[in-house]
Amino acid sequence: MIKLIILTIVIFFVQINTTLSQEVRCDREMNITYYKNPKILLNEFSSFPERKSQVAINASNKAEKIVDEYWNHIGPEKHLHELNTVLTKYSIITENFEKNGEFEFLFNNNGKLQATNFANCKTEILYWEYQSQPYNGTFSIYIGSKDTNEYLIRFGIQGSHSQNHYRLNYYKRGSQNCYNSMNPICHKHLTELRILGYADLESNLKFDELKNIVKTELETAKKITEEAYAKQLAQEKADRDRAQNAKEARVKAERERIEAEKAKRLRLIKEKEEFDGSPYGQLYNSYSSYLMISDLYDARKEFATPYITQTKMSEVKKKMREIENKMISEKKLDTDMIWANAEKSYQTEFSTSMGLIKSSGIYSNEANSMAKIQLITFDAIHKDVVGYKSIEKDF
């Protein structure tokens, strides 16, 4: 019985470079994965500080670096974060109580524990239940031949205390949850077994077969990840290119707009220069200037401070007749048509503002400045059309 209980093998399975065995055990064809050196496993994978020095020693000894890179993806090790599933997926192979053979332990979901001695193929059925749920890599289980009140077994997986790390500790169950062999009410330590290996109950495949499946899954997942990453990079590049192209298009459009406006301004300037320099344009502009000068004269002619004096207005009229006569005699222009066009354009643009200036009677610096500008403009046109009069000697 004690032998059987010992069975609760410490499950600190770590997938190390393993020995694979396919053989018939007690009329069953089994694929068993054996750990080569559980002692090195203990040192290699213990997470406790007291083990670190030994880990460093083993790490420096390449001859002892026998850990398979897929160990945590195959066997009990891949379930380290779901410990409740471990005992239903795998049977545990341990040394037997006499240390001269092997046991297989199957923890069935119905609360029965099947222990088989491969040395003589004898099987005993025990009962089991968790003392507490697996926690921090440690399993604590009550077992017995008639009920679960006879023994306590404790074993650990990665992260468990070194006392249970890769080993099964077997106790006579006490009435209190303490561990003191001298105290009759505490659990009494009986023996310790080491785990030799495991068998996969679901697939019954060899370690290398499981490894090939895992490799394929990992490679497929890696390929999917790489393809997704490449797709993401391509999308990000496409987005950047699209944003850059849109930016360049906006810059180009803005540059073209500025150039178009510049060309338009230059064209308008050129057209105005050509218009202003033409006989038609000179007469048209002189009429437009005359109309504004006349309105500004009328706005303040009855006030002490006019915008344009009567003398200046008379001079403007005289010069207007000179321009008109010159254009009629030399250019044969239709003065009535040009006057009508100039007057219409002037009324459209200035009738409102000039109406306000004339009706208010208030002196305005802006209107006065306008009058001066128009007088200068009119005189310039007169000089271009009629020319400069020679100055006679008066001395």
Residue 35 banded pLDDT, cuts 50, 70, 90: low
First to last CA, the chain: 155
Alpha-carbon gap, residue 290 to 288, rounded angstroms: 5
Q: Mean pLDDT lowest for which of 146-150, 182-186, 257-261, 329-333?
A: 329-333
Eight-state DSSP code of residue 185: T
Residues 354-379: tens digit of each pLDDT: 999 989 889 999 999 999 999 999 99
pTM exceeds cut of 0.75:
no
φ and ψ at 121, to 5 degrees?
Answer: 60, 20
Burial of 368 (0-12, 13-18, 19+ CB in 10 A): middle
Residue 181 banded pLDDT, cuts 50, 70, 90: confident
Q: How far is CA 26 from the centre of its chain?
A: 58
Spell out the domain ranges in the chain: 2-205, 278-386
**Position 272 pLDDT exceeds 50:** yes
Residue 390 has a pLDDT of: 65
The residue length of the chain stands at 395
Residues 301-326, mean pLDDT to the nearest whole number: 94
Residues 156-185, mean pLDDT to the nearest whole number: 86
Alpha-carbon gap, residue 360 to 353, rounded angstroms: 11
Q: What three-state secondary structure class fits 258?
A: helix
**Position 220 pLDDT exceeds 50:** yes
φ and ψ at 224, to 5 degrees?
Answer: -60, -45
Residue matched to tokens 């010069």: 319
Own/partner long-range contacts of 85-90 (Cβ < 8 Å, ≥24 apart):
86/11, 86/134, 86/157, 87/11, 87/139, 88/201, 89/200, 89/201, 89/202, 90/13, 90/198, 90/199, 90/200, 90/201
φ and ψ at 80, to 5 degrees?
Answer: -60, -20
Residues 206-218: tens digit of each pLDDT: 778 888 888 898 8
User: Between 191 and 74, where is the model more confident?
Assistant: 191
Q: Are 113 and 105 in contact (CB under 8 A)?
A: yes
Where helices occur in 135-206 by DSSP H, the ranges are none
**Position 58 pLDDT exceeds 50:** no
The helix (run of H) or strand (run of E) holding residue 294 is helix 279-300
Residues 32-44, mean pLDDT to the nearest whole number: 58
Own/partner long-range contacts of 103-109 (Cβ < 8 Å, ≥24 apart):
103/3, 103/4, 103/6, 103/7, 103/9, 104/25, 104/199, 105/7, 105/8, 105/9, 106/201, 107/141
**Position 190 pLDDT exceeds 80:** yes
* Most confident segment among 53-67, 108-122, 161-175: 108-122
Alpha-carbon gap, residue 35 to 74, rounded angstroms: 13
